[in-house]
Structure 1
Amino acid sequence: MSGESQQSIRLLLSDMDGTLLLPDHSLSQRTIDAVRSLREAGVLFSLATGRPPRAMLQTIEALGVDLPTAAFNGGTLVHPDGSLLVAHYLPATAALTTLALFADQPEIDVWVFSSGDWLVKDSTGPMVPREQHGLGYPPVVVESFEPYLARIDKIVAASNNTALLVELEARLLEKVEGQAQVSRSQPVYLDVTAMQANKGEALRTLAEFLGVPLAQTAAMGDGGNDPAMFQVAGLSIAMGQAEEAVKRQANLVTASNAEDGAALAIEQYILKR
Structure 2
Amino acid sequence: MTPPLAVDIDGTLTDDRRRVDPRVFPVLREWDAPVVVATGKAFPYPVALCEFLGIPITVIAENGGVVAIEGDEVVFTGDPEGARAVADAYAAAGHGLGWGEPDFVNRWRETELAVSRDQPFDVLERVAEKEGLAVVDTGFAYHVKAPDVDKGQGLLAVAEALDREPSAFAAVGDSENDAAMFAVAGESYAVGNADETAKEAADTVLDERYVDGFLAATEAIRGE
TM-score interval, normalised by the smaller of the two chains: 0.7 to 0.9
Shift of 1:219: 1.5
CA deviation after TM superposition for structure 1 residue 38, in Å = 2.4
CA distance in 2 between counterparts of 1:220 and 1:26 reads 17
Report sequence identity in percent.
28
Q: Confirm whether residue 26 of structure 1 aligns to residue 51 of structure 2.
A: no
Give the direction of change, closer, same or farther, for the CA distance of 1:210–1:49 in structure 2 (3 Å limit).
same
Map 1:130-145 onto structure 2 (within 5 A).
132=104, 139=107
* Counterpart residue number, 1:175: 130
Could you tell me which residue of structure 1 aligns to residue 222 of structure 2? 271
Q: TM-score, normalised by structure 2?
A: 0.83
Maintained 8 Å contact 1:221/1:237: yes
Counterpart amino acid of 1:49? T
What is the CA deviation profile of residues 123-156 of structure 1, one whole-angstrom value per residue up to 9, with x for unaligned ones? Answer: 17xxx5xxx4xx6xx959xxxxxxxxxx951112
Counterparts of 1:172 and 1:220, CA distance in 2: 32
Measure, in 2, the Cα distance between the counterparts of 1:30 and 1:152.
Answer: 30
Q: Counterpart of 1:23 in 2: which secondary structure? A: coil
- 1:226 alignment partner, SS class: helix
Letter paired with 1:54: P
CA RMSD of aligned residues (A): 3.0
Asked whether the equivalents of residues 69 and 158 of structure 2 are also in contact (C-alpha less than 8 Å), the reply is no
- TM-score by length of structure 1 reads 0.70
Instruction: Give the aligned residue type for 2:58.
Output: P
| Cα distance in structure 1, aligned partners of 2:127 and 2:14 | 29
Equivalent residue number for residue 101 of structure 2: 123
Instruction: Report the Cα distance in structure 2 between the residues aligned to 1:26 and 1:97, rounded to whole angstroms.
Output: 30
Q: Residue 36 of structure 2: which of 46, 53, 56 is its match?
A: 46
* 3-state SS in 2 of match to 1:245: helix
Q: Mind listing any 5+ residue stretches in structure 2 that lack a counterpart? A: none
Residues 58 and 22 of structure 1: is their aligned pair in 2 closer, same or farther, counting only changes over 3 Å?
farther
Contact 1:109 1:159 in 2 (8 A): no
Q: Which of 170, 174, 192 matches 2:144?
A: 192
Residue number in structure 2 paired with 1:222 = 174
Kindly name which structure, 1 or 2, has the bigger radius of gyration based on alpha carbons: 1
**Residues 152, 64 of structure 1: CA spacing in aligned structure 2 closer, same or farther, 3 A cutoff?**
closer
Identify the residue that residue 143 of structure 1 maps to in structure 2. none
- Report the CA distance between 1:75 and its aligned residue: 0.9
- What per-residue deviation string (whole Å, max 9, x for no partner) do you get for residues 241-269 of structure 1? 11122211111112211x5211111012x
Post-superposition CA distance 1:109-135 (Å, at most 9, x none) = 267xxxxxxxxxx517xxx5xxx4xx6
SS at match of 1:92: helix
Contact 2:37 2:60 in 1 (8 A): yes
State whether residues 50 and 57 of structure 2, in contact with CA within 8 Å, keep that contact through their aligned partners in structure 1.
no
Higher relative contact order (CA 8 A, sep 6+): 1
In the alignment, structure 1 segments of 5+ residues that lack a partner are 1-7, 112-121, 141-150
Aligned partner of residue 40 in structure 2, secondary structure: coil
1:216-243 CA-to-partner distances (Å, cap 9, x unmatched) read: 1112111221111111111111121111
